[in-house]
Structure 1
Amino acid sequence: MKQEILNKYLKQNILLEVYSKTSDPDRFLLGYLVKDAGNFCIFESIDEYGALDGYSLYAKADIAKILTNTSYTKIFESNIKTYQQFNAFDPFNLKEKYNHILQKTNFTPASLLNYYCQHGNVITLSIAGYDYPNSGKVIAVSDNFVSLDEMTHDKDLDYDFPSQNKPLEIRRITALDIVSKDNFLYEQYKKSS
């Protein structure tokens, strides 16, 4: 994606549909562009109802197109305002968690992965060439690879497909959830079980 196009939306509070080159062409991230991070952008993502879903690091090279001012974004702008009106937009304080991580890392994939490994966080990331995102607690990070405990994560969620805790190439990361509602709730489950 061209930098001048991204600059047009950066910190402008414009709700965007962001389409990926490497995932299903009918799926998109709904959110706001909040930060330029070198070869990546950070989006404040919105869930399927209009509440805050989290913050995602997204490779600029993987952005196929951005749409705005669609019927879909107009409906969700209304939903977001309603959630905010009832103080329900960010019930898990994900923005506060994001801001804390912002102070502790430089928002490169390697910096974030090292932070998550040190703090025992669960993450979700997308790798170019993989059909589905990878999720799990970060269990090891090297200069070129990250390993997630996907087997425990997928077993806990009764996923039908078998996962392996195989190393994933950091340079092939196309998206990484910095904080997300799903991962936060899964971490709470793990703490209580």
Structure 2
Amino acid sequence: MIETDYSYSNQLLELYSKDIDDYGSESFSLGYILQDLGSFILFMSISETGTLDSIQIRSKKYLVKIIDNSAYIRMYEFFVSYNKINKSFDNYDLGSIINLEKIKTIDDLLTNNLVLKKSVTVIHSNDESVFTGKINLLDSKKLVLSIIDYESITKTNKKTINIDDLICIDIVSVENFLLDKYIETNHL
């Protein structure tokens, strides 16, 4: 975990997370730190085209570096600005799904009724597994996720994940928004 005050209000950042597998590479995200939530941050991830990709909870203990000034960031500041001017930054209105003003802690976010009704994606630190599903149960120590199998688009089994083992949760994302729309439309 890096030592910082995480106060990068409205500043586009490169966020690097430490590698937890055997390959030695860091993972990288571009976006904005929206709030400091204690041992987690609320992070808005930006896509390769400069649009809103997801709103995530990221564990601070896996962060190794934050870059706040680079040619890459300046290019993406233009992409984001261009998309906002042309009203294409948040095509799915993801920013309105969760009232960020009311979020002060990770518990506020995870117990939000809208989060509990939507699909989320969880990255787990034990083996860097990625699970998508709906949160069935949540307390301060763990969450239970009903996993969605992408091949059959059905709920397969439940996975219990310790909160301390979370790297990231996409609480709102373009992919999960579209998945939920597909499930609703097809009555799955």
* Common fold by TM > 0.5: yes
Q: Distance in 1 between the 2:50 and 2:91 partners?
A: 12
Q: Distance in 1 between the 2:172 and 2:101 partners?
A: 11
Residue pair 1:116, 1:122 contacting (<8 A) in 2 also: no
Alignment of 1:2 onto 2:7: no
Q: Percent identity?
A: 25
Structure 2 partner of 1:78: 78
Structure 2 partner of 1:165: 158
Alignment of 1:155 onto 2:151: yes
User: What code does the residue aligned with 1:183 have?
Assistant: N
1:2-26 Cα offsets, whole Å, 9 max, x none, are: 134x23xx21x22111011245734
Alignment of 1:134 onto 2:127: no
Which deviates more from structure 2 when the two are superposed, residues 168-177 or residues 139-148?
Answer: 139-148
1:31 CA drift (Å): 0.3
Structure 1 partner of 2:42: 42
1:118 CA drift (Å): 7.8
Gaps of 5+ in 2: none
Give the 3 Å change call, closer, same or farther, for CA 157–16 of structure 1 in structure 2.
Answer: farther
| Structure with the higher fraction of residues in helix conformation | 1
Structure 2 partner of 1:190: 183
Structure 2 partner of 1:56: 56
- TM, length-normalised to structure 2: 0.82
Q: Distance in 2 between the 1:164 and 1:102 partners?
A: 34
1:83 CA drift (Å): 0.8
Give the 3 Å change call, closer, same or farther, for CA 38–70 of structure 1 in structure 2.
Answer: same
